[in-house]
Amino acid sequence: MKRKNVEAETPIEDFKDVKIKKIPSVAGGSKAVLSSTQHAWKEMGAGRAIKTLMKVNQKNGFDCPGCAWPDPEDKRSAAEFCENGAKAVAEEATLKRVTPKFFQKWTIEKMSQQSDYWLGKQGRIIHPMYLAAGADYYEQISWNDAFEKIASKLHNLENANEAAFYTSGRTSNEAAFLLQLFARILGTNNLPDCSNMCHESSGMGLKQVIGIGKGTVTLEDFSHADCIVVVGQNPGTNHPRMLTALQKAARGGCQIITINPLSEVGNNRFAHPQEVGGLAGVSATPLTSLFLQVKINGDVALFKGILKAWFALDKQNNNELIAYDFIEKYTKGFDEFRSDIDSESWDTIVKESGISQEKIEQATEIIARAKKMICCWAMGLTQHKNAIANIQQVVNLLLMGGHFGREGAGACPVRGHSNVQGDRTVGITSNPAPKFLDNLTKVFNFSSPQEKGYDTVDAIEAMHAKKIKLFFSMGGNFLSATPDTNYTATALSNCELTVHVSTKLNRAHLVTGKESIILPCLGRTEQDKQNDKLQFCSVENSMGIVHKTQGLLTPASKFLRSEVWIMTSLAQKMFPDKFDWATMNNYNTIRDCIEKTIPGFDEYNKRVHQGFYLPNPVRDKCNFATTSGKAHFTIHPVPKSSLQQDQFLMMTIRSHDQYNTTIYGLSDRYRGIHNVRRVILMNKKDMQKMDLSQKAFVNITSHFENEKRVALKFMVIEYNIPEQCVATYFPEANVLVPLHHKADGSNTPASKSIVVTLERIE
Ligand SMILES: Nc1nc2c(c(=O)[nH]1)N[C@H]1C(S)=C(S)[C@@H](COP(=O)(O)OP(=O)(O)OC[C@H]3O[C@@H](n4cnc5c(=O)[nH]c(N)nc54)[C@H](O)[C@@H]3O)O[C@H]1N2
Ligand SMILES: Nc1nc2c(c(=O)[nH]1)N[C@H]1C(S)=C(S)[C@@H](COP(=O)(O)OP(=O)(O)OC[C@H]3O[C@@H](n4cnc5c(=O)[nH]c(N)nc54)[C@H](O)[C@@H]3O)O[C@H]1N2
Ligand SMILES: [Mo]
């Protein structure tokens, strides 16, 4: 049962001092420096800020807790971080503290009435805390008592599948490996993770057609490409260091095509803050050479249009523009694919994509003539019902030009959380490969559970149905990041015990199971000492490089423990005879175990210091480990929009001042929106049709099958967005995302295609 009066949603804002300013024409520049410096100094103090930021992404430093974009292998600058990386560091290395006294002062109910922004701004949690059944306040608990409580609940489960273990992608390889091992020794594959809501569609989509669920490019490839397609991605905000790679490419003559319903500033022009001219904003580099303002979820139609135009262009050019030799040697399904593209009508393509045939042909001129093409994408492609089709269309495009297994070309799903890719590599998945389970069984001498576990959406359903009694979360914010906030709130409340290993306070600590425990852990920026010996961890970036990460700061409190220590201590309580867990507090031991279990980690402890690439047969050898041993062309129908006249398709996106559910500030500088988050971006014509003026208020209702969900009071902002498309920020809009509206095949919530209607309010 949900605790009475505990709010699952952030309160509605007061809409004071809302300012809509001109959208800046350039990303980066001095404003970016100013913004990062302000955040860092405010949270950390000047000296500590400088000392800390100089260690971000350095070989002897720590991996930025921001995004998963890789670091340059050779020349790293002294300041290898971006504005939003600095904010992520400041958020963690803040000097503010959430003490046991704080919890004595604030009831759960009172905390829940504060905003998500406020919760995060209270500082680092510094002591293990326990919320008893029916209690209003968290109370201090010792580490040992916390483990006793968790262990006793686990022992009392009727079967291991009544527990679920969630991972957010900031967790290191070492901690993630231990978490999945713990779950599997217990006897369950219930390992939902943030990736289920993120790039799961990319992993599944790619695996089916090219045999590996990861990208096939290196950072160096960006300097060799002559065409880069950036689709469904806002790197200016979410992967700012990618702009450096795009800038270098553009300066070298590479053409960049951007496909997005919004003209995002970061995709357009970039001034590198570390270049003299860039800092002054005078030497901004134009990035996008062609912008295709696609309708939300119009990408399959658009790709089919490009492919259709490509076949036509090839014919006019003596069959010289399609990589027939490559297709013959390495692929399967080309003829059927070709006839499907032939039979697609331009009317459908233009109608569903929202792009004219001329514009599509313009893009095709660039794409078909490219010798080396990279396609990059993120959540704009993965969070739709037809997400796997989106990703496989990207692959079709790459296969047509033979853009695999060669320098300067390939697929580049740009990962979100800084170690989300590594977590998956070391076994965080509800659907593990039999070979992996076999290896685990051999190395640790137990029998792994074989049946598939719950992913994120399934776990929410299972909790709702009271099939899960204990929910354990290694980082993240399961309440606010997941779809259908109110349904998920009930789901979490139906658990007997919810446990969160966390650095900062969030709403998932307030909407809890009957009992709740918070285990506060060290962050990336902090020194991790075990038995007086300094340890380090490792992570894998978006391009498959595994490398070391070691914090430098004195921990925020002496009561904090590492994620690894937390897992080994819990394992010691639960399974003392299975392994000599104490030996794992030398993290080399864990890496040795990973090396024995997972291919590609040879000499892990030796090579981790410099960093090493995991094997990637597609990139390295043009070897496609699919069912047929070839890359597959695939056929996908154009999804037909069935919006009624008064309906809109809504995407839920990130502002420039947030990291997922962590709200750094209330503004979205690159979109000109200041001091407000509860906004809905709308096309001018749609506003006129509904007689809505700038800053008018609306309630939003989402429609799915026969269900309706309502979110109250959003401010309308006129924006350059295609008609019948609207945008809101997550997590505020997650109440509108239906749990069962998800991607076919990958189960990823379709949080970028929500059908909504608007109702004007005064
Ligand atoms: N500062 C910061 N950095 C982050 C994060 C953060 O919150 N803050 N989050 C991290 C995580 S976990 C992730 S996964 C990534 C997310 O990185 P992104 O995927 O860039 O993040 P979103 O804001 O979800 O933006 C999606 C983009 O896709 C576009 N889009 C939406 N729907 C469609 C569509 O149907 N078609 C096309 N072509 N485009 C569409 C939107 O207009 C927007 O520009 O960033 C990571 N890095
Ligand atoms: N509507 C909508 N929903 C979305 C998305 C969307 O685009 N639209 N995007 C989805 C995506 S791509 C993702 S990845 C998910 C994100 O889902 P999550 O990963 O679950 O959410 P985060 O907001 O990144 O988690 C933030 C919390 O992590 C904890 N934390 C931070 N650092 C550490 C650490 O080092 N260790 C530990 N143990 N804890 C730490 C802090 O307590 C913080 O409050 O959200 C998804 N939800
Ligand atoms: Mo993500």
Check if 563 has its Cβ closer than 6 Å to any atom of ligand 2: yes
* pLDDT digit string, tens, across residues 3-31: 788 999 999 999 999 999 999 999 988 88
For 349-366, how does the pLDDT look when each residue is reduced to its tens digit (9 = 90+)? 999 999 999 999 999 999
pLDDT at 275 over 80: no
What pLDDT does residue 433 have?
Answer: 96
Whole-number Å distance between alpha carbons of 727 and 369: 34
pLDDT digits (tens, 9 = 90+) for 120-174: 999 999 999 999 999 999 999 999 999 999 999 999 999 999 999 999 999 999 9
Atom of ligand 1 nearest to the CA of 87: 1
**pLDDT score of 120:** 97
Q: What is the Cα–Cα distance from 395 to 214, expressed in whole angstroms?
A: 12
Q: Closest residue (by CA) to atom 7 of ligand 2? A: 653
The predicted pLDDT at position 83 comes to 87
Strands 97-98 and 124-125, bridge-based pairing = parallel
| Residue 610 phi, psi dihedral angles, 5° rounding | -85, -25
Mean pLDDT of 523-545: 96
C-alpha–C-alpha distance, residues 545 and 173, integer Å? 12
Instruction: State residue 71's pLDDT score.
Output: 86
How does DSSP assign 126-191, residue by residue?
Answer: -S-EEE-TT-SS-EE--HHHHHHHHHHHHHH-SSGGGEEEEE-TTS-HHHHHHHHHHHHHHT----
User: Which is nearest to 255 in space by CA: 288, 210, 224, 285?
Assistant: 288
Please tell me the distance from the alpha carbon of residue 547 to that of residue 557, in angstroms, as a whole number: 27
CATH topology for 201-414 is Dimethylsulfoxide Reductase; domain 2 (3.40.228)
Give the per-residue pLDDT at 272.
85
Find, among 264, 257, 232, the residue nearest to 681 by Cα: 264
- Rounded-to-integer distance, Cα 5 and Cα 733, Å: 20
Calpha distance 289→514 (Å, rounded): 55
State percent of the chain over pLDDT 70: 99
Domain ranges of the chain: 36-198+419-613, 201-414, 648-761
Q: How far apart are CA 6 and CA 315, in angstroms?
A: 64
**122, amino acid identity:** Q
Q: Establish whether residue 506 lines the binding site of ligand 2, counting it when its CB lies within 6 angstroms of any ligand atom.
A: yes
Strands (DSSP E) found in 319-418: 331-332, 373-377, 410-413
Per-residue pLDDT, averaged over 496-518, amounts to 98
Residue 276 has pLDDT above 80, yes or no: no
Is the Cα torsion angle 327, 330, 336, 337 positive or negative in sign? negative
**Is the Cα dihedral 475, 480, 483, 486 positive or negative?**
positive
Dig out the tokens for 332 from the structure: 């399967």
pLDDT class of 741 with cuts at 50, 70, 90? very high
Q: What is the pLDDT of residues 96-125, one digit of tens each?
A: 999 999 999 999 999 999 999 999 999 999
Mutate to test the pocket of ligand 2, among 96, 168, 478, 657 (most ligand atoms within 8 A of CB): 168
Residue 38 pLDDT greater than 90, yes or no: no
Helix axis angle, 387-400 relative to 200-210, nearest 10°?
40
C-beta of residue 717 within 8 angstroms of C-beta of residue 673: yes
Separation of CA 687 from chain center:
32
Q: Of all protein residues, whose CA lies closest to atom 10 belonging to ligand 1?
A: 416
CB count within 10 Å of CB 79 equals: 18
Q: What pLDDT does 1 receive?
A: 62
Cβ burial, residue 7 (10 Å; 0-12/13-18/19+) = middle
Helix 357-369 vs helix 346-353: angle between axes, to the nearest 10 degrees?
100
Q: Is the pLDDT of residue 282 over 70?
A: no
Model pLDDT for residues 414-425, shown as the tens digit of each residue: 999 999 999 999
First to last CA, the chain: 35
Residue range 648-761, CATH number: 2.40.40.20
- Give per-residue pLDDT as tens, 236-252: 999 999 999 999 999 99
Which of 660, 661, 742 to mutate for ligand 2's pocket (most ligand atoms within 8 Å of CB)? 660
Whether 283 has a pLDDT exceeding 80, the answer reads: no
Query: What's the DSSP call for residue 331?
Result: E
pLDDT digits (tens, 9 = 90+) for 289-316: 999 999 999 999 999 999 999 999 999 9
Pocket flag, ligand 1, residue 669 (CB < 6 Å): no
What confidence score (pLDDT) does residue 167 get? 98
- Mind listing the pLDDT tens digit for each residue in 676-694? 999 999 999 999 999 999 9
Q: Is 86 in the pocket of ligand 1 (CB under 6 A)?
A: no
What are the residues facing 707 on neighbouring strands? 704
More confident residue, 71 or 592: 592
E-only strand ranges, 196-310: 227-231, 255-259, 269-271, 285-286, 288-292
What is the chain's alpha carbon radius of gyration, rounded to the nearest angstrom? 25
Q: What is the pLDDT of residues 439-498, one digit of tens each?
A: 999 999 999 999 999 999 999 999 999 999 999 999 999 999 999 999 999 999 999 999
Question: Which ligand has an atom closest to residue 386 CA?
Answer: 1
Asked whether the predicted pLDDT for residue 566 surpasses 60, the reply is yes
Q: Is the CB of 662 under 6 A from ligand 2?
A: yes
pLDDT of 281 > 60? The answer is no
pLDDT for position 37: 81
CB of 721 within 6 A of ligand 2: the answer is no
Decide if 36-198+419-613 and 648-761 have a common fold: no
pLDDT for the residue 114: 98
Phi, psi of 533 (to 5 degrees): -105, 130
* Ligand 2 geometric centre to CA of 193 (Å): 10
Closest ligand 1 atom to the C-alpha of 238? Answer: 3
Q: Is the pTM of this model over 0.95?
A: yes
Query: Measured between alpha carbons, how far is 696 from 670 in angstroms, rounded to an integer?
Result: 22
Residue 547 and residue 613: Cα distance in Å, rounded? 9
Distance 152 CA to ligand 1 centre (A): 41
Cα 311 to middle of ligand 3, angstroms:
35
Residue 278 pLDDT > 80: no
Spell out the SS3 assignment of 70-119: CCCCCCCCCCCCCHHHHHHHHHHCCCCEECHHHHHHCCHHHHHCCCHHHH
The answer on pLDDT for 277 being more than 70 is: no
Residue 19 phi/psi, 5-degree rounding, is -130, 130
Report the alpha-carbon distance of residue 644 to residue 724 in Å, rounded. Answer: 10
Give residue 279's pLDDT.
59
Residue minimizing CA distance to atom 4 of ligand 1:
238
Q: Rounding to the nearest 10 degrees, give the CA dihedral for residues 148, 153, 158, 160.
A: -80
List the CATH code of the domain at 36-198+419-613: 3.40.50.740
Per DSSP, the three-state class of 234 is: coil
pLDDT at position 386 is 98
Confidence of residue 335 (pLDDT cuts 50, 70, 90): very high
Would you state the pLDDT for residue 280?
58
Q: Which ligand is nearest to the CA of 81?
A: 1
